[in-house]
A and B are shown apart, each in its own frame.
Chain A
Amino acid sequence: MASNKSATRPKLTNEGFLGRMAYFTTRALANIRQNFLLSLLTVGTITLAMLIISLFLLVFVNLQGATEDWSRRVQVVVYFDRELAPQEITAFKERINTVRGTDRVAYVSRGEALNRFRARLKGQETLLEGVSAEVLPSSLEISLKSASREADAVALYVANLKKIPGLGEVQYGDEWVRRFSAFMNFLRLVGTLLGGFLLLAVIFIVSNTIKLTIYARKDELEVLGLVGATRFFIKAPFVIEGIIHGAAGSLIAVLILSGCYLAFMQNAANFLSFNPAAEGLSFLPAGYLAGLVLGGVLLGFLGSMTSLKRFIK
């Protein structure tokens, strides 16, 4: 070695990228076999961690679905003290549809309003004796797009709506909307905090488990360094191992979650007072499941990368 340059090794002829990757993967699989208990511990921890995250997501997704249903009740109603002519209805609908945030507009005639009233007072029809359709107002019921169902957005929508000339009295149950918005904000805050803490706890637990398993094999890292392995050569099989652990752990978690969900849907009616299938309790969408598996892979990859940093200088 006459100069610094000569300290670098010439590349071997059979040393392509794919060949190296195949070697590292074989090495990683051999390492898993040779350290089976440690691998089992890591996969088990990742499985539990991803199961907790996926359970949280399942609750979150269903709660989101439920709140979406509830928020559809946020409606703006325009009352008229007369029956509208069909041309007027069409004209109003067209104007209202141009207001930003409008989802659907439906006309409720005086007759239909009376029918609804009757349906609501079922069993107490005597109260409606002498009441005719003329007493009740006709109305346009406006459903809002989900982005316009918050209290402030509804108020802004109503302000814009009132600019349309010829509209009657506008009502939207502002107190209920305000309470509903406050509840939604609270739910979002709790969900974000809970999800955030859960994610931090999971990252902490998984990275520490990986750190411990790598610490248990620090002799291997030392020996590899002494016989002249480059840092990449030392790290690569460990990182591939981390990715395999992460993928296996998260796949097992998704399988367990699916099994539990199916078992719950089939048997819940026996011990609960409602049928979850009928209530629309849904499973995680495919995108979420793919995200969970990718998350597991990322957790294994980053966990091993950061842990190796501590042991390979």
Chain B
Amino acid sequence: MIQLHNVSMSYQSDFAALNGINLRIPRGEFVFLTGVSGAGKSTLLKLLYAELTPTRGQVLIDGQNLGRLTRRQIPYLRRSIGMVFQDFKLLGNRTVFENVGITLEVLGWSKKDIGKKVFHILKQVGLEQKMNSTPLRLSGGEQQRVALARALVNDPKMLLADEPTGNLDEDNKEQVLNIFKEANIRGTTVVVATHDRRLFSSSHRRVVVLEKGMIAEDSNGQ
């Protein structure tokens, strides 16, 4: 369960990126965060993976107050969160296999177990044939699927995506969205920040609209 209580975030004293946000996302829910550029979508996601600390209010994940986490505890929080970005954030000098396996290396998995698990997840996203390629040789859609595989390989409790389809064509958007849905069916809470209305217009999922750092609309009626 994600809970935000009266959360405000200011980068400078006179500019509030988020202002008095109250939000509850139950475990296993699929939520779209939307709004124009600068509405506060990315800031909200950054608060959820403890990249930022709110200037006011509380962010709780499964009852854990993220504002109270020490610097040492943040990595352990992130191991339960998968993250996907518009620019993929893949390492160009490592193969697809190595890019995905990095999540499990960090957890101390053995080479053999990493091999099995990475192959399995690459098969799920349809990229097992390309596991020895470097990301630069892949299309945008394929790169985003590698990033998704990296985010999902350790079965995270939560998947956060910041404009994940921003650089993709319609076919690839569909493919990526389907992977999100599959992860959600398996029990992962999914939060996708996007300004692309077409992505969620026919999805029948919860949509939270942000405007000038405040919640302007929540399809869940909260």
The residues of A with any CB-CB pair to B shorter than 8 Å are: 1-4, 6-9, 12, 14-15, 23, 27, 34-35, 219-220, 222-231, 233, 313
How would residues 64 to 102 of chain B score, 1 for a CB under 8 Å from any chain A CB and 0 otherwise?
A: 100011111101111111010000011101100000001
The answer to whether A7 and B102 touch (CB under 8 A), given A1-B80, A34-B94, is: no
B6 to chain A, nearest CB (A): 21
Q: Is there an interface contact between A223 and B102, defined as CB atoms closer than 8 Å?
A: yes
Q: Is there an interface contact between A8 and B89, defined as CB atoms closer than 8 Å?
A: no
Q: Is there an interface contact between B64 and A224, defined as CB atoms closer than 8 Å?
A: no
Q: Is there an interface contact between B64 and A4, defined as CB atoms closer than 8 Å?
A: yes
Q: Is there an interface contact between A226 and B93, defined as CB atoms closer than 8 Å?
A: no
B108 to chain A, nearest CB (A): 5
A1 neighbours in B (Cβ, 8 Å): 61-64, 77, 80
B78 neighbours in A (Cβ, 8 Å): 225-228
A17–B173 CA distance with the chains assembled, in angstroms: 44
Closest to B65 in A: A4
Q: Is there an interface contact between A228 and B89, defined as CB atoms closer than 8 Å?
A: no
A2–B93 CA distance with the chains assembled, in angstroms: 39
Q: Is there an interface contact between A222 and B89, defined as CB atoms closer than 8 Å?
A: yes
Contact of B79 among A3, A4, A220, A228 (CB under 8 A): A228
Q: Is there an interface contact between B103 and A227, defined as CB atoms closer than 8 Å?
A: yes
The answer to whether A228 and B106 touch (CB under 8 A), given A34-B94, A35-B93, A223-B89, is: yes
The answer to whether A219 and B91 touch (CB under 8 A), given A1-B63, A14-B110, is: yes
The residues of B with any CB-CB pair to A shorter than 8 Å are: 49, 61-64, 68-73, 75-81, 83, 89-91, 93-94, 102-103, 105-108, 110, 150
A15–B105 CA distance with the chains assembled, in angstroms: 12
Given pairs A1-B77, A223-B102, A230-B75, 5 additional interface contacts (CB within 8 A): A9-B79, A14-B108, A35-B93, A223-B91, A227-B150
Q: Is there an interface contact between B91 and A8, defined as CB atoms closer than 8 Å?
A: no
Q: Is there an interface contact between B72 and A230, defined as CB atoms closer than 8 Å?
A: yes
B48 to chain A, nearest CB (A): 12
A296 to chain B, nearest CB (A): 26
B94 neighbours in A (Cβ, 8 Å): 34
Closest to A26 in B: B111
B70 neighbours in A (Cβ, 8 Å): 4
B71 neighbours in A (Cβ, 8 Å): 231, 313
Q: Is there an interface contact between A8 and B73, defined as CB atoms closer than 8 Å?
A: yes
Task: Name 30 A/B residue pairs within 8 A (Cβ), A-sorted.
Answer: A1-B61, A1-B63, A1-B64, A1-B80, A2-B63, A2-B64, A3-B63, A4-B64, A7-B64, A7-B69, A7-B73, A8-B73, A9-B79, A9-B107, A12-B108, A15-B108, A34-B93, A35-B93, A219-B91, A223-B89, A224-B102, A225-B75, A227-B79, A227-B106, A228-B77, A228-B81, A229-B106, A231-B75, A233-B75, A233-B106
Cβ-closest 5 pairs across A and B: A228-B79, A228-B78, A1-B64, A7-B73, A229-B106
A219–B103 CA distance with the chains assembled, in angstroms: 15
B76 neighbours in A (Cβ, 8 Å): 7-9, 228
A7 neighbours in B (Cβ, 8 Å): 64, 69, 73, 76-77
Contact of B89 among A4, A6, A219 (CB under 8 A): A219
Q: Is there an interface contact between A4 and B68, defined as CB atoms closer than 8 Å?
A: yes
Q: Is there an interface contact between A220 and B91, defined as CB atoms closer than 8 Å?
A: yes
Q: Is there an interface contact between B73 and A4, defined as CB atoms closer than 8 Å?
A: yes
A237 to chain B, nearest CB (A): 11
A167–B103 CA distance with the chains assembled, in angstroms: 87
A233–B106 CA distance with the chains assembled, in angstroms: 7
Closest to A19 in B: B108
Closest to B72 in A: A230
A310 to chain B, nearest CB (A): 16
A230 neighbours in B (Cβ, 8 Å): 72, 75
